[in-house]
Structure 1
Amino acid sequence: MMLRPVLALAIALFATGAAAAQDDPGKAASAAARQLERAAQSLDAAATARDRVRALTETVQAYEAGLAAMREGMRRAATREATLSRRLAAREQDVARLIGVLQVIETAPPPVLLLHPSGPLGSARSAMMLADVTPGLNAQAAELRRDVEEVRTLRTLQANAADTLQSALAGIQQARTNLSQAVAERTDLPRRFTEDPVRTAILLGSTETLDAFASGLSEMADTPIPETEADISADKGALPLPVQGVLLHRARQADAAGIRRAGMIVATRPRALVTSPTAATIRYRGPLLDLGNVVILEPQRDTLFVFSGLAEVFGEAGEVVPAGSPVGLMGGQTPENGAILSLSSDGTGTDHSETLYIEVRQGGAPVDPETWFQTDKDG
């Protein structure tokens, strides 16, 4: 697995470029390293298809966390380098004068330093002044040396980032491919019902809204779907988001086009992994209306989690998936090295180019997803 070089470089970038940060973002890289180690051990010990899917899911998540840590480290390192470079440029004249004074002190013959035209008293005064000034000059010189050395170190780390990123991107792509194959081969999940493709096609063709489709989900099976006894009410408000990303729009919050939706929108990076936040039944997966690929999960009776905007969807309708199971991948293209390196320095989140729409429905009506999912409500 090629994540370890990424994490090592991320930690180095953090340590060098973010020492003044109030938090310790290097912990994210360390946590990703531990997660990858656990995933590797789980993959080696996997005895069933379900175990393999779980281990590969954790592998992909570890790669995502590690790459995110590296991007943040590179951004902070680039910011730090720019700050130091501006500081050195602004002090260019001071630096030139300082170097000149230090060279004179260093190269002048000792007798010249000790003699003064006004005699012994002047020489004594000069020596006292020199004793007072020299420590300050040495301190300035030491500070400049530290700044120059830090800039040199940051540039070396950033130069090495391209090769490291190339290896990591290849690693996560292979992990995603392996995960897709493992999900396709998984046959050991319990099933609540078997989907009838004809009934599903009829339902898709006869509905024009998500409301209508959700209310007709029970028509997708050729036999009555047994009620679930699952109850996740104790987890209400504490469920993790199904994807690594940032909250873009809350429920009923107008977007740039003035459109208000019943659910919330999370911005993600291309090809981000989407997982089930809790154990749930897959009630539907596939294209739906103008929502793109959709996954509808039922974690408990009369409650539906709707995720739309995916490029790939995993699993089959009727399967009961455990918490953390992969249900799909976001779309988009993973940016090339150069794009990632340039994006890492702006800190604007422009690498979160994909969006996942999350809607929660209870009793047939949408509710605010933030009553279920843990988000930064003050953001």
Structure 2
Amino acid sequence: MGLLVLVTGGAGFVGSHTLVELLEAGHRVVVVDNCCNSARGQEAGQLPPALARVCTITGKTITAFHMVSLLDRDALAQVFAQHKIDVVIHFAALKAVGESVEKPLAYYSNNVTGTLTLLEVMNEAGVKRLVYSSSATVYGVPQYLPTDEQHPTGVGITNPYGHTKHICEQILRDLAATDKEWRVVLLRYFNPVGAHESGMIGEDPKGTPNNLLPYIAQVAVGKLDELLVYGGDYNTPDGTGVRDYIHVMDLASGHVAALDKLNSEDFQGAVAYNLGTGAGVSVLEMITAFTRASQKKIPYRVVGRREGDVATMVGSCVLAQQQLGWRASRDLHQMCVDAWCWQSQNPDGYA
């Protein structure tokens, strides 16, 4: 029998896709989510739709779902009292860069205080193994490309969201250095896109999307009129921002690989790994790729630079290949095909 994995934020985009990989790998899952950024079940006691669809995709059941905020210490402690948790994968966080600038207190409270509360409850329950959902934003403005895990972190971060991820990483490093029983994998994501190939689960942002591909998909399906392209004069091949995009199912498999590493006999401390493709894609290249995948014209307008953006962000994922045995396998076309499959079948998301 596999591990019993507590997944915080499991009803979200990356969380729900990771549940598919965990269940198919033979693990059992307990999900904690306050559903502040994901659809809830329509009736009391009903699973959120993303979780119900995960069960349909895998043909397996979720051990338990708890509608709990990480800021509610007592409720969180009850979850650990009810289940003999082996390891935690921690996704639960607010993640919109622009919103973090507008609402810094909400981001520091939810992301930092929520993580501290989780760690305190884990410590009291004797659960000291954690896979942490971090971000490439911890690298700030890149000093060199591609950024690898040796790149300085915490320097030149341009938004509160990035600062919360860097602070949490430092907390986890300090904890693992002080208590040798703690084992932590820090997974630094680049830009998750796409959806499960079935089209049953995918990214369902509340309000106007903050990320490029779901915005393009909503233009394609007719929910939004046009795409606003920031930049136009960056030092890139076509003047628009270049990013490292990764298919969400590749990202999900990276979490299972991290879990295996975490439970290997030789693992110790807190270790960071980049999860990306190592290849850069510009905004205009993404529009072209999505147009080919969907056969939909994407109207767009270039509106100039956006404060805090960097021209290019691409990562090196060699360490994950060497130590986790993991490599992204899905290309840009597949990312767009699967994103369109989800959006076209679910124009209003999980609503």
Same fold at TM > 0.5 = no
Q: Which has the higher contact order (CA 8 A, sep 6+)?
A: 2
- Which structure dedicates a bigger proportion of its chain to helix? 1
Task: Output the TM-score relative to the length of structure 1.
Answer: 0.25
Task: Output the TM-score relative to the length of structure 2.
Answer: 0.26
